[in-house]
Structure 1
Amino acid sequence: MNTLTTVVKPGFFRIILALIVVFYHITKYVFIGSFAVYVFFILSGYWVTKMYVEKYSKEENEFSTFYISRILRIYPLYLFVSLITYFFKISLDGSFVENIINYSYSDWLSLITLFGFNNKGLLLTPAWSLDIELQFYLIAPFLIYLCKNKYRITQIFIVSLLILVFIKIYPQLLFNIEMLFSFLPYFVIGMLIFYMKPVVSNRLSIVGLILFFVVILVHYVVPNLKRLALDDGSFYLSILNMLLPILLIPFVIKNLKVKSNKFDRYLGNLSYTIYLFHWTLIIPYSYYFGGLSFNNRIPYAILYLIATIIGAIIINRFFEQPIENFRIKISSKK
């Protein structure tokens, strides 16, 4: 019998998460953008661990194969979309040229390598999460090595969670720089799902989904909670987005076990393109329509969404897929 947990395939789920980020960026009434990124981190922790254990660890040059594969997955699309975004910026923002001229060497280094990107507010804002992702890639083989005893991963999770709590209490310890320590528990949850292979019932996953939607609804209905939820950058909103993924963990566990078909895997790949490319079109969207009222913006927001999806499909077809084919070819030769 089909249930929501089996009907929603992994690739489609990733598209939904990417679109949540899109809506978060184009309207202040969607407040769960960070939540979606945290769930992406959980998924990344699972898939990176699975790929490393089942594929890369069996290669003769496992480390180089892993890192080359991850670089080819992240950087080409990031650099390509950044270039498109740059041309939109210089065309519509007269002050941007002056700003970019004043970039420091560290700014340029972060812009090119992504490391340290997230605390600089540079060109392609959603790429902050790629910085965190790359930090995880750097230590992933070491964590996986430690987790040959699968119960060690539980200890790592507890330690990473304690570090996260400590950082939230004393944020000055990171000098206002977002680092992997602030997000590691989410990656480790994904690793735990892989190693522990927990079994959850459809009922539990549905209950988690219902609770998730109830919490969201309550924050729209209760005036004081709505005010707190829509206060972008507030401590309350930060904690809310951090805790919401917990309600979806049973659903994520079930969803990861759903078998994907070719089209669903395509949707999963397309989610990364949408996640980056949507910011490119936000520049002209905000420039031409940002000053309109919410109701007057709706038709243009729909056109923006259509243009984002079509643009992402074109980029995926003619740029990302050839890169992906090359990545697979290189990996298979290692």
Structure 2
Amino acid sequence: MNRLPNLDPLRFFLASLVLLFHLPQLSRNQGLPYFDGFPLYHRGLEAVYMFFVLSGFLIIRIIYRAKLRDAFSIKDFYVRRVLRIFPLYYLVLGFGLLFYNVILPSLNIPFEINYTWKEAFFYNVFFLPNVFAKQFEPGGILEILWSIGIEEQFYLIIAPMLFFIKVKWVLRALGILFLLYFFIFWSDVFEVLRKYSFVFFYLFSGGIIAILEERKNLDFLKRWAIVPALICIATILYFTTDFFLMEPLWLRSLITCLLFSLFIHTIAFNNRGLELNNKLLNHFGSISYGIYMYHAIVLNAVVFLFLKMEMLQNINKILAIVLLHLLTFAGTLLVAHFSYVYFELYFLKLKNKFRS
């Protein structure tokens, strides 16, 4: 299956932003030197939101193209999603529960556990890690699983819905669903949706742009070279400045949906021949799921190393910050690479048997 250009490097960039977001937080909490002076260090949540838009863009595009061929299978769709997400998800979930409940106590490191094993099992096995993270604050390794839960919940909704809707009505149905859900999400009546970050509208927005492209409704954007340039500049400013930190929040979310969707469409379909066709970047993009899932584990290990080694505690502050960055990034890339090659790839190869 042909891969759209520039999306793998984008995945790597977004996963790196999440790592940069968490690194100074844990360093500060443990009394280590830290640096978070650039807006880029505060865009981890926004990076996850772009991941959601990208997921909606790709998943709905796949479903829509399969429906055009009358070849969409819900069973095959779910099997492919399970093979991609579950192995690593449950591996990190198991390690996280072991880490906070067994490993830290054995090292005499205090960490408050305010949930039972039954609660941990229920919320995380039944696709509600976002609720688990908000309710119990179980620790960073487990809390990052919230976004995987949002994706899992989205898959449970979108596949049967699109299966029963005629292909000619898919775009209209998604548009109505986006507007309706966006209004419900930001209304005071359904505050619980905001509390537990059920931000499905990001995924819907990505899907709408994908179908508009499939139907050639966005060809007008390709007529002027200034359009992709402006979209890319606006996206760069979004992550490197505070210009887009506007109120009210619903307006910021709406602008974010539009900008992120247009940016993904631009780099994939309206890039004017500019492609980041670099093998290393593409590989880092391929292992971005692992980068996201393992970075909190590696970060905890690096911070523990600094806390236990007297030599590292006595080095220059700037050097300590640089080392924290280098060791966390290098360690995360290494773990994600070996996980991909020797663990995830086995399940990914099985996915090919269930392609429409």
> Is this a same-fold pair by TM over 0.5?
yes
Paired residue for 2:32? none
Paired residue for 2:335? 311
Alpha-carbon distance between aligned partners in 1 of 2:335 and 2:249, rounded to the nearest angstrom: 31
Q: 2:122 aligns with which of 79, 103, 109?
A: 109
The answer as to 2:81 corresponding to 1:77 is no
Deviations 1:262-310 (A, max 9, x none): 94764432111111111211222344558x8973323222111111111
Give the 3 Å change call, closer, same or farther, for CA 240–302 of structure 1 in structure 2: farther
How many Å apart are 1:143 and its aligned residue? 3.8
Paired residue for 2:153? 135
Give the 3 Å change call, closer, same or farther, for CA 241–160 of structure 1 in structure 2: closer
8 A contact 2:209–2:262 mirrored in 1: no
Taking structure 2 as the reference length, the TM-score comes to 0.72
Alpha-carbon distance between aligned partners in 2 of 1:24 and 1:320, rounded to the nearest angstrom: 25
Alpha-carbon distance between aligned partners in 1 of 2:276 and 2:232, rounded to the nearest angstrom: 21
Alpha-carbon distance between aligned partners in 1 of 2:238 and 2:282, rounded to the nearest angstrom: 30
8 A contact 2:58–2:207 mirrored in 1: no
Number of aligned pairs? 311
Match of 1:69, as an amino acid?
Answer: R
RMSD of the TM alignment (CA)?
3.7
Paired residue for 2:12? 15
Gaps of 5+ in 1: 1-6, 220-224
Matches within 5 A, 1:1-334: 9-27=6-24, 28=36, 29=38, 30-55=41-66, 62-89=73-100, 90-92=102-104, 94-96=109-111, 99=113, 102-103=115-116, 105-113=118-126, 115-121=127-133, 122=138, 123-145=141-163, 146=165, 148-149=167-168, 152-154=170-172, 156-170=174-188, 171-174=190-193, 176-179=195-198, 181=200, 183-197=202-216, 198-199=218-219, 200-201=221-222, 202-219=225-242, 240=252, 243-257=255-269, 263=279, 266-289=283-306, 295=318, 296-329=320-353, 331=354
Farther-moved stretch of structure 1 (85-94 vs 33-42): 85-94
Give the 3 Å change call, closer, same or farther, for CA 281–87 of structure 1 in structure 2: farther
Secondary structure in 1 matching 2:63: helix
Deviations 1:206-258 (A, max 9, x none): 11121233355542xxxxx7xx96xxxx9878965663453343331132237
Name the % identity: 21
Farther-moved stretch of structure 1 (199-208 vs 275-284): 199-208
Taking structure 1 as the reference length, the TM-score comes to 0.76
How many Å apart are 1:133 and its aligned residue? 0.8
Paired residue for 1:4? none
8 A contact 1:124–1:276 mirrored in 2: no
